[in-house]
Amino acid sequence: MKKGVLFGIVAMIAAVVAGPPAHASSSEGERIEAFVSILPQAYLVQRVGGDHVEVRVLVDEGQEPHTFEPTPAQMAALARSDVYFTVGVPFETALLPRIRSLFPDLRITDTIKGVRLRYFEDEHETHAHHLSDTHAHNGKTPDPHTWLDPGRAKIIAENIALCLKTLDPGHSGEFERNLEQLRQDLDRAHAQISRILEPLKGRRIYVLHPAFGYFCEAYGLEQIALEAEGKEPGAKQLARIIERARGEGVRVIFVQSQFSEKAARAVAESIGGVAVPINPLPRDYLPEIVSLAEEIQRAFFQGP
């Protein structure tokens, strides 16, 4: 069965199961029911909203966000929610028009509004899916992984706070205080990561999937991705990558559990190195993004 047809069936079931929507400002004592696309967003929403928000995630741990399809239960829950926070990940492109059609009263908030996007420029930073036309730029493919830069994560959090204050004006002051504390924590994490990665400025990291462009940009690194157009590299491209990695003395290929690691492990074996897992979708955002920096530092200074 085609995905579009399947989605339509799922959506109709969801609309029936969901019952009347709850898209109104939160009443006193009621929590805002929020949906997000990915786990890092959930962390930010929970930090800003505190006890006044209940957060649900579409793409859970270990799932692949580029080909994700919501379940009937998720669609039913989404129909009852107060807000859906988007972040520009690829599956939203197909999902959003359908959600707007099925659930016209559901508030949809673009959390990357005002975020400066980067774009995939060459063969080493290509991506399988385009974002919506809202974020397109001269036909280039935008990099959706904005949350991996703590500076951009602050803007995402600010957009979240603005929406929550509109939904629940009675707790605006608390949301603003939570946001300010989160800003400070993000600044501290940025400073800590900067210290960790300072000795590596200008170095390249080899990754399976091009998820770390914003992170690398923020800390003076460059990512070389094995994937091309979201697909594992062919034999010729794989040979070029192996030759380049050998020439640069690379011993570590970073992999992500959400994607097939076959090509990365082949490269690692060919260069006498190892494949090291790092997570672009951290559940516990702040400590895990610092751990990401520590893992990269360890790979360079300790080796495989």
The domain that holds 277 is classified in CATH as 3.40.50.1980
- State the pLDDT confidence band at 17, using cuts at 50, 70 and 90: very low
Please tell me whether residues 156 and 45 are part of one structural domain.
yes
Whether the CB-CB separation of 91 and 67 falls below 8 Å is answered with: yes
pTM of the full predicted structure?
A: 0.86
Check residue 246 and give its pLDDT: 92
Return d(Cα 279, Cα 283) in angstroms, integer. 9
Asked, for residue 270, whether it belongs to a domain, the answer is: yes
| pLDDT over 90 at 51, yes or no | yes
Whether the CB-CB separation of 253 and 299 falls below 8 Å is answered with: no
| Alpha-carbon dihedral 27, 28, 30, 33, rounded to 10 degrees | 50
Check residue 265 and give its pLDDT: 82
Please tell me whether residues 61 and 171 are part of one structural domain.
yes
Residues 79-95: tens digit of each pLDDT: 999 999 999 999 999 99
| pLDDT over 90 at 6, yes or no | no
Please tell me whether residues 161 and 284 are part of one structural domain.
no
Q: Where in the sequence is the domain holding 211, given as residue range(s)?
A: 200-298
Please tell me whether residues 253 and 153 are part of one structural domain.
no
Check residue 213 and give its pLDDT: 96
Which of 81-90, 152-161, 236-245 is predicted least confidently? 236-245
Please tell me whether residues 108 and 170 are part of one structural domain.
yes
Looking at residue 122, what DSSP letter applies?
S
- State the pLDDT confidence band at 13, using cuts at 50, 70 and 90: very low
Check residue 32 and give its pLDDT: 98
| pLDDT over 70 at 143, yes or no | yes
